[in-house]
Chains A and B, each alone.
Chain A
Amino acid sequence: MKIKNIVMFLLIILASIGFVLAIAELPPYGMPDNPIHNGVYDRYVGDAISETGSINIVTSIVLDYRAYDTMFETIVLFTATIASVITLKKSKRGEKDR
Chain B
Amino acid sequence: MNKLLNKILINYPYFFAVILFAIGVATIVTRSNMFKKLLGLNIMESAVYLMFIAAGNIRGATEPIITDSNAGSTIINPLPSALMLTGIVVSVSVTAFALALILRMYKHYGTTDAILIAEMRDKNEKWGNK
Contact = CB atoms under 8 A, between A and B. Distances in A.
B103 interface: yes
B71 to A, nearest CB: 11
A83 B78 CA distance: 33
Contacts, number: 128
Dominant secondary structure at the B interface: helix
Contacts of A40: 79
Interface residues of B, number: 53
B77 A37 contact: yes
A94 interface: no
Nearest to A90: B107
- A interface, size bucket: 35 or more
Given A76-B90, A83-B97, A26 B11 contact: yes
Given A19-B22, A69-B86, A70-B86, 20 more contacts: A5-B30, A12-B25, A12-B26, A23-B14, A24-B8, A29-B54, A31-B58, A37-B58, A37-B77, A44-B78, A49-B66, A55-B67, A58-B82, A62-B82, A66-B82, A73-B90, A76-B93, A80-B97, A81-B96, A87-B97
Interface of B: 4, 7-8, 10-15, 17-19, 21-22, 25-26, 29-30, 54-59, 61, 64-67, 74-75, 77-82, 85-86, 89-90, 92-94, 96-97, 99-101, 103-104, 107-108
